[in-house]
Amino acid sequence: MGYDLSALLLNVASCGGSDVHLMHGLPPVARIAGAIRALPYPPLHSDVIMELLNPYITEIQMGIFKKENRVNCGHTIGEGRYRFNIYMSLGTVGASIRILPQKTYPLAALGLPPIVGTLAYRKSGIVFVTGATGSGKSTTMAAMLDCINQDGRPSKIITVEDPVETIFRPCHSVFVQREVGVDTPSFAMGIMDSIRQDPDVLCIGELRDEKSIYAAMVAAETGHLVLTTLHTRDASTTAQRLVSAVPAADQEILRDQLASTLEAVISQELLPRADGKGVVVACEILVSTPAVRQMIRENKLDSINDAIQAGMKYGMITKDMAIKNLFTKGAITKEVALEHMRHPEALGSAYSG
């Protein structure tokens, strides 16, 4: 069987797949419903992988790849949008290709708590969407931006991404979308430039380093709504990660900035559905309250989980409660619930058996 990369990607996308992996010596591999599966193609060679990728790599991106042995890029193929990570492994070429949603979905359709919709309408401050790779963070942020675009106040929305994932069509808002390495040399510089471009909303693909963290805090302090992601598992580790990323001498200042600007942390995880038809999101929500802000200022970050427990009236929900709710509705199995809860005993004896 020959290779047609666009047809291969379309086939995997039609099966609900999320990723395609091209590796030397193996047939193409896809992740479908959370599981890795080999596809019915012959094994690949590095030369063949490069032939498949060449039509989708610009001269600039090829230059980066030759210099750094890795490059990230986003491409529209047909009606689909894909994120490429091309790399070297033991002297051979490999690629991981993420299949991005072809459209944005209403927040309710994603199974997110109602509070997420209200967060999209905040006028300033910073909202973090966190979780492991593949937990749907980009999908949630895209849905929040589209919520603003379709139903919110007319806004100028600037995104800084690596690469650009969802391409938005203006409705009530206008968009400026910038790709790191193509339109701006770094996240930090892209963020600082954006502050000078009269935005209402700034979407940052990821806070990767000290400079981008400082820049995001400045953007939030100067009256913009900032949406961004981190690869952290919950609200308390999000705060800890941010603070530990800067020098000790600056940590108190950063805690004060975070306490002043934090609006919410949305921590999510995708769990396999009980019916085997895809995945469902379990979502922990921290909403900033005076008590939460004080905990951050006083460096009592371990107490944030207790604040979530006590904050249901503000729309907060713990990870365990979110998972328990999914199990009660029959969306996930007991085994999945027990595996992913922090305190499995909270599932309760009523659900034993």
For residue 139, give every residue at least 6 positions away whose Cβ sits within 8 Å of its Cβ, in sequence order, or none: 101, 105, 110
**CB-CB neighbours of 224 under 10 Å:** 23
Q: Hey, is 69 helix, strand or coil?
A: coil
Q: What pLDDT is recorded for position 250?
A: 95
- Output the six-digit token pair for 93: 């070429």
Phi, psi for 190 (deg, rounded to 5): -60, -40
From residue 145, alpha-carbon distances to 22, 134, 209, 232, 268 in Å are 32, 19, 24, 21, 18
Task: Tell me the domain boundaries of the chain.
Answer: 5-100, 107-317
pLDDT digits (tens, 9 = 90+) for 75-102: 888 778 899 999 999 999 999 999 987 6
Name residue 85's beta-bridge partners.
72, 96
Q: Hey, is 249 helix, strand or coil?
A: helix
With beta carbons less than 8 A apart as the criterion, state whether 238 and 130 touch. Answer: yes
With beta carbons less than 8 A apart as the criterion, state whether 85 and 68 touch. Answer: no
For 107-317, CATH gives: 3.40.50.300
* Of 77, 239, 79, 219, the residue nearest 159 (C-alpha): 219
pLDDT one digit per residue (tens) for the chain, 353 residues: 467 899 999 999 888 889 999 999 999 999 987 789 999 999 999 999 999 999 989 898 899 999 999 998 888 887 788 999 999 999 999 999 999 876 777 888 898 988 999 999 999 999 999 999 889 999 999 999 999 999 888 999 999 998 888 889 999 999 999 999 889 999 999 999 999 999 999 999 999 899 999 999 999 999 999 999 999 988 889 999 999 999 999 999 999 999 999 999 999 999 999 998 889 999 999 999 999 999 999 999 989 989 999 998 999 999 999 999 999 999 999 999 999 999 898 787 544 44
Q: What pLDDT is recorded for position 80?
A: 83
- Output the six-digit token pair for 14: 């039609």
CA angle at 46 for the pair 40 and 49, rounded to the nearest 5°: 55
With beta carbons less than 8 A apart as the criterion, state whether 224 and 247 touch. Answer: no
User: Positive or negative CA dihedral for 330, 271, 334, 234?
Assistant: negative
Distance, CA of 169 to CA of 9 (rounded, Å): 24
- Output the six-digit token pair for 67: 């210099």
* Of 122, 141, 121, 144, the residue nearest 131 (C-alpha): 141
Task: Give the side-chain half-sphere CA count within 13 A for 268.
Answer: 24
* Of 169, 167, 202, the residue nearest 187 (C-alpha): 202
- Output the six-digit token pair for 317: 């929900």
User: Positive or negative CA dihedral for 237, 239, 244, 248?
Assistant: negative
Q: What pLDDT is recorded for position 2?
A: 61
Task: Look up the CATH architecture of domain 5-100.
Answer: 2-Layer Sandwich (3.30)
Q: Hey, is 66 helix, strand or coil?
A: helix
